[in-house]
Amino acid sequence: MQDHENYSGHTAPHHAAPLGMYFAVFAALMVLTVITVWVSRIDLGAMNTAVAMAIAIVKATVVILWFMHVIHSPRMTWIVVISSFLWLAVMFVFFFSDYLTRGWNIY
C-alpha cells in the first residue's frame, strides 16, 4: 500500500511493475466487459442496473489500483482518492434520499 522508499531521501521515484501485470489487468477488464454485456441480456428486473454498476465499480477499482498505480502510492494519494469517492457518495445519498422517496408524486 505504501512505499516509504518513494518518500524523501531517495532521488528516484522509480517503481516499475512487471509488464505481465498490465496484460493481466487488461484481460480482467475484457472479461468483465463481456460479463457486463452478457448480464444485461438476462432479465433481472430492477437488479440489472445494480449488477451493471457493481461490475463497473469493480472495473474502475482495477483501473485505479493498477493502471493508475494507486496501489503503490503514498498514503496521502489514497486519502485524496478515497475522499473524492466519499464526497460522490454523499452527493448520491442526499439526492436519492429525496428524489427516489417521492412515492406520492405523479411519476
Partner 1 sequence: MSEDATLSHSAEHASEPHTHGHHHPFLQHHFEDMGQQHEASTLGMWFFVAQEILFFGGIFCAYFIYREMYPEAWKAGSHHQNWQIGAANTIVLIGSSLTMALAVWGAQQAKRKFTTLMLILTLVLGGIFVGVKGYEYAEHIHEGLFPGSMFTFVQQDAPHLTPGVHLFMTFYFVMTGLHALHMIIGAGLLLWFIKRTWRGDFGPEYYSPVEIMGLYWHFVDIVWIFLFPLLYLV
Residue of 43, 99, 103, 104 that binds partner 1 (CB under 8 A):
99
Ranges within 66-85 binding partner 1 (CB under 8 A): 66-69, 73-74, 76-77, 80-81, 83-85
Is there a contact between 65 and 71 (Cβ–Cβ < 8 Å)? Answer: yes
Q: How far is the CB of 55 from partner 1 (least distance, A)?
A: 8
According to CB under 8 A, which one of 42, 45, 59, 103 is a site residue for partner 1? 59
What the block records as the C-alpha cell of 54 is 457493481
Q: What region does 15 belong to: left with phi over 0, alpha with psi -120 to 50, or beta?
A: beta
End-to-end distance of the chain based on CA atoms, in angstroms?
A: 47
Q: Is 56 in the site for partner 1 (CB under 8 A)?
A: yes
Using CA of residue 54, residue 55, residue 60, residue 66, what is the dihedral sign? positive
Please check whether residue 4 is in contact with residue 72, taking contact to mean a CB–CB distance below 8 angstroms.
no
Cell numbers of 67, please? 493502471
Residues in contact with partner 1 by the rule CB under 8 A: 6-17, 19, 22-23, 25-26, 29-30, 33, 36-37, 40, 49, 52-53, 55-56, 59-60, 63-64, 66-69, 73-74, 76-77, 80-81, 83-85, 87-88, 91-92, 95-96, 99-100, 107
